Chains A and B, each alone.
Chain A
Amino acid sequence: MIPTKWNNPPVNNRNLAAERHESLSRRGFFRGMGACIALPALESMYPSIALAAKATKIAPTRMAFLYVPNGTIPGAWWPTGDAGTNFELSPTLAPLAKVRNQVQIISGLADDSAEAGPDGAGDHARAGGTFLTGVRVKKTAGSDIHAGISIDQVVANQIGHLTRFSSLELTCDAVRKAGDCDSGYACAYVYNLAWRSAMQPLSPEHNPRFVFERLFGVGAPAERVANLKRRQQEQHSILDYVMQDAHKLDASLDGRDRQKLDQYLTSVREIEQRIENSERLVVKNPSVDAPAGVPASYQEHIALMFDMLLLAFQTDSTRVATLLIAREGSNRSFDEIGIAEGHHNLTHHQNKPEMMEKVRQIDHWYVQRLAAFLEKMEATKEFDGQSLLHHSMILYGSGNADGNHHTHSNLPVVVAGSGGGKLKTGRYVKAESTPITNFYLTMADAMGAQGIEKHGDSTGRFA
């Protein structure tokens, strides 16, 4: 049993105006929510598809990528002591003490595609756009966005059919900046971690309520599954109809118009697929209320998104997820811990101690959020007696290493969970400079993906 608690979060100021006109679909629901609810015993939460796995007494492996922006203060990040199990957590990573044996800290991972090369300024946009794709993103303000497929989607393409959602894309960065995002790079690179293809970013969801309703349906706990079923039935004929429309149109279009239509077509197909799978993949409905909306506090928002991620994994709704905790280059101030300056401004500290200390506090604050999530994951037991964390691989990191210098080697990365025993944990690994994509291949292997020889700039498996 794990308690999942969300205290009826007040609505975020930024969306106040918007949320005040409560949207139609939800009018009347979600009044009087909140309080502290415990999830039902985990075993009953398993969809039937997992029964096969259950027969072999091994729970499935999950994988998530969590992104934090602007790098970290390296000196405060890296553990002291030798590589191996005998290391001391650094001040920044100290909050991980309770899950120390479930994490590994890896140095030496690099994202070379984010280096300036011929493209000049724009290290933040590149760091964001390359993090999971491993390819040099095209420098464009918007006419020809081009990155590459991200590793989560590579894996989702192979194992996505085993769960109701092939992948889940989440963000805690709800508000978009107008204008340019970074030195002539389109904003798509910094707001989207997951890319279905080089030209199709997968926009993440920022509202925890919508994440919940998408996973489990709308309404009171007892009605949810029925509501979801009814909605799917209603949608069936609509999807059939628009599919025909799209096919006809597709034939008459060219070039980029056709690419847009194809994105639409494949999206419709995926929804249809999910409906077709709904007999096979049963919704496991957690008997908790949906969250009310986007909380006013950033800390609450992150905590709720982590809860949603945990629920999605726990109910085996998906096995692949990405969470953009904040966009690369974020200049958010941290009034929560008395820091009025913008995060990005601070990271260009030029070794001024007060500024470095503030960045370290921000780094530490983010790791605290991570630690709370990992502890919950560890406390959640699977039917085989192991923890949900044990069966997961949670990669937390940034595409910038030292925000002060915009370096992209020796990235700050923590990997939690052993992917069901396939990765070693409780250790500090000092690797030679290695593309981070090599590590992704190792993770993909652990997920059971087959035949992936290369991803982005990878040069082999992470040893």
Chain B
Amino acid sequence: MWSMKPILGAGIVVFLTGAVALSASSANHTESAAAVTENSAVAVYKKAINPILEDHCYECHGDGYNKGKVAFDELESNAEILDKDLWLRVLVNTRAGLMPAEQKPRLSAADQQKLERWIKSDVFHLDPRNPDPGRVTVRRLNRVEYRNTVRDLLGVDFNSEVEFPPDDTGFGFDNIGDALSISPMLVEKYVAAATVIVGEAVPTVDRKVVEQEVPADAFATADGEKQSWRVRFPYNTSKSVAAAVKTPGAGTYKVTLALDVRGDFVFVPDRGRLVFKIDGKEVLNKEFAYFYEKSFTFESDHKWSAADHSLSLEFTSLDDGKAGSGEKAKGPKSSRLTINSLTIEGPLEQDKWIKPANYDRFFPRTIPAGRAERLAYARELLGAFASKAYRRPLGADKSDDTADRLARLAEDTYRQKGKTFEQGVAQAMAAVLASPHFLFRLEQPAPHALEAHSAPVDEYSLASRLSYFLWSTMPDDELLALAARGELRANLSAQVQRMLGDERAKSLSQNFTGQWLEARDLEGISSNAREILIRDAGEEENLRLLRQAFRAQDESTAKKLAAHIDSVVPAKISLDGDMRKAMREETELYFRHIVKEDRPVTELIDSNYAFLNEALAKHYGIPGVTGDDLRLVTLPPGSPRGGVLTQGSSLVVTSNPDRTSPVKRGLFVLANFLGTPPPPPPANVPALEASEIAHEGHEPTLRESLTKHRENPACSSCHNRMDPIGLAFENFNALGMWRDTERKQNILAPGQLITGEKFGSVSELKKILATAHREDFYRTLSTKLLTYATGRGPEYYDVETIDQIVNRLDQNDGRFSAMLMGVIESAPFQKMRTQATVTAAN
């Protein structure tokens, strides 16, 4: 009867569907109790619910009609009448105003309420005071969380986005426990990464030579021009730079200069001479020619008595303009010499060595001499490290031998010949990073939890839930300290406040909007600016002729056509890396603003501000913004830009490589803002291009093509929902720029939603979405945020939780904090099913 999970045993069904049966001990007893519950639910259906359906729904779903394969008068058995999937659809569709369909009379508020109450209590068996928290499959750290956790644990920035394969997603997010799988390759990478990360973070000796790198910006020319990032010498220019350095004082030093030569091949290579001097004395004097990306390293030893020294790099171009002038003149003169590093090590005398950086962080005390004492010290260090890495204390009792095993692992290593104590501890730390306790987020119920079927998670689990939700990383010391004292729950809202103010809260904006609004796709999406602009300008035919002329080597025609296209299509517009990044960051900053300033969430749809830099403002046609930094800009009156829907990111990710896609845009709004995505298209549906039959003598606009497409009744029922919304955005091209025409035809924005509201422009549409459809948006956004926060997809039993969050938003002017605290205080976030239930549900 619980159609979504067919493997359930009878006793368990009751367990999950009726709290009444909880105390029942025998299977027989529960079965009969279930039958009683079912019978009364069905009786209510027949008496109170069916009459409402007869009045409003039978026209399509009864009396012989079964649109969408639903016919209410054909439901016979109890199981059919109480089918959760069916009623979840009824609930969603009636609430969103999609049913009863257009032009049919709506349910009265009282009837709607009656229907909702019956669905929630008799079909779903929801108990508003004690909602089912649901079941989250143990979550593996995804690669973003892994990177952040390693950063916070060890201070190492490990680029997991390059090193690890992308994580599989579920419900649109990459932090869903069920979807995060493990493969041998991934574990291999985890083990290798652990060694590399620990190798970078943990010193393996207690004393080492002082090593300083002379940075590029320590060098300046005689005119005082500072060098930045790397000192570079193009072969065609003579240049000298000098720097002053300070060393620890008298002793023996080693100076290492590393450089490389890069450039394109030319037949007669460029040449140059580099002279490197220390305190005026030549250390290196060498001529360089063209080499294919060749690297050089030069070392020299010095006995110095003073602490201050001067360094100079003098480069002379040997480009005399004579040799091979013919070929040379043609080729690119791009060869250059780049100083990669200049390092000074010393004093090399052992008595002048120092503790490595970070040493005290990992080894706060002197390493004891005795074997037992050493082992005890290793045990102490590793126990503390493992506890932090596992985000909870190790077990107090004997059954948890983690610290012992780690200490033994360390000892096995450091007792090997030639290995240091530090190396042994580092090896055990690497094991910690490869352990399932680190890689998975293992949760526990609070001790002495009273409820039978669910229990609050313990405070350590709660600390991790909070930190991975808001920060995408491990809990910090403050959260863990509160958890240790059992005071986190009592200070929840203050802690959430604190966490949102922290830099790490950027992760929420990046990872939530990156996926909810698909802003992450920006960087990889195919987009051909020239094709888009040529199509917008209605110059496709001329482009075709141009290509034809090229092929026919008809130079004069080609030139003429190219000049014509260049004159109507703006040059230098493209979605380059900087533009894509600016668009993504605009969306992130916008969301972050709403979070930080606790703005109404409807401002995500409609507002009078944006976050822009000069390039993006120019792209949008908004004057008066200069500089590369994105900042809050109040939009000119009447600007269509406020809100995420008219930001470049949303407009581009919903476009095809060569044109806009009103269908994708409509679907984007329905799925991500209104929560009513239409069913997927039937098989064998033609693409829109197929409807591109010349329209009244011109190439059809997308509006015209879609009108044609909707003539097919199989298409119209869904496209009537998507198209009006998508077409309202047609004034924005596939690059996110404003346009007035498409293929030389004026763009018409007016339209009407399937739910009846009429609008004249995209701005009016946004207002309608933010007011008349505010509840739909609240519900959709809350569901997305709950999914992201809990790491599992929404289930029917979450209806109550979501409704409570929506109410809270309603009562607080839609402030972001109302939604956020609603999610955080909800049963799915605070609680877990207990073992008994977990076993049953599987």
A interface with B by C-beta (< 8 Å): 8, 13-19, 21-25, 31-35, 116, 120-123, 141-145, 169, 174-180, 182-184, 186-188, 191-192, 196, 199-207, 210, 214, 231, 234-235, 237-239, 241-242, 244-246, 249, 253-257, 260-261, 263-264, 266-268, 270-271, 331-333, 335, 338, 340-342, 345-346, 348-350, 352, 355, 404-406
Contact = CB atoms under 8 A, between A and B. Distances in A.
Contact of B689 (A13, A141, A264, A355): A355
A270 B159 CA distance: 25
Pick from B177, B519, B547 the residue with the most CB of A within 10 Å.
Answer: B177
B156 interface: yes
B200 A24 contact: yes
Contacts of B841: 255
15 contacts: A22-B159, A23-B163, A24-B196, A143-B170, A143-B171, A179-B518, A183-B681, A201-B168, A238-B431, A239-B191, A242-B191, A242-B436, A340-B530, A341-B658, A341-B689
Pick from B179, B409, B679 the residue with the most CB of A within 10 Å.
Answer: B179
Contacts, number: 289
A8 B294 CA distance: 13
B657 A341 contact: yes
A163 to B, nearest CB: 14
Contact of B162 (A19, A143, A201, A245): A19
Interface string B532-548: 00000000000000010
Given A121-B680, A183-B680, A237 B165 contact: no
Contacts of B697: none
Contacts of B156: 24
Contact of A179 (B172, B547, B679, B692): B172
B440 A13 contact: no
Given A244-B405, A255-B842, A237 B427 contact: yes
Nearest to B176: A142
Contact of A255 (B195, B402, B689, B838): B838
A285 to B, nearest CB: 18
A243 to B, nearest CB: 10
A200 B180 CA distance: 10
Contact of A144 (B178, B437, B684): B178
Nearest to A142: B170
B412 interface: yes
Contacts of A214: 185, 188
B658 A333 contact: yes
Contacts of A143: 170-171, 176, 178-179, 792-793
Contacts of A239: 191, 434
B442 interface: yes
A456 to B, nearest CB: 20
Given A34-B293, A121-B679, A271-B191, A237 B431 contact: yes
Interface of B: 137-138, 140, 156-159, 161-163, 165-166, 168-172, 176-188, 191-197, 199-200, 260, 292-295, 402, 405-406, 409, 412-413, 427-428, 430-431, 434-437, 439-440, 442, 514-515, 518-521, 523-524, 526, 528, 530-531, 547, 577, 581, 656-658, 671, 679-687, 689-690, 692, 792-793, 835, 838-839, 841-842
A31 B295 contact: yes
Given A24-B158, A179-B518, A271-B188, A333 B168 contact: no
A241 B409 contact: yes
B686 A187 contact: no
A188 B166 CA distance: 11
Contacts of B657: 331, 333, 340-342
A170 to B, nearest CB: 11
Contacts of B680: 120-122, 182-184
Contact of B436 (A31, A169, A200, A246): A246
A229 to B, nearest CB: 14
A143 B179 CA distance: 7
A33 B293 CA distance: 8
A161 B520 CA distance: 40
B579 to A, nearest CB: 12
A256 B178 contact: yes
Contacts of B196: 24-25
B165 A204 contact: yes
A70 to B, nearest CB: 12
A254 B838 contact: yes
A342 B526 contact: yes
Pick from B156, B194, B547, B683 the residue with the most CB of A within 10 Å.
Answer: B683
A120 B679 contact: yes
B187 A260 contact: no
Nearest to B157: A21
A37 B838 CA distance: 58
Contact of B409 (A177, A237, A263): A237
Contacts of B437: 245, 249
Given A116-B683, A121-B680, A203-B186, 13 more contacts: A25-B192, A142-B169, A178-B514, A186-B179, A188-B181, A203-B166, A238-B191, A249-B442, A256-B178, A260-B177, A348-B687, A350-B689, A352-B689
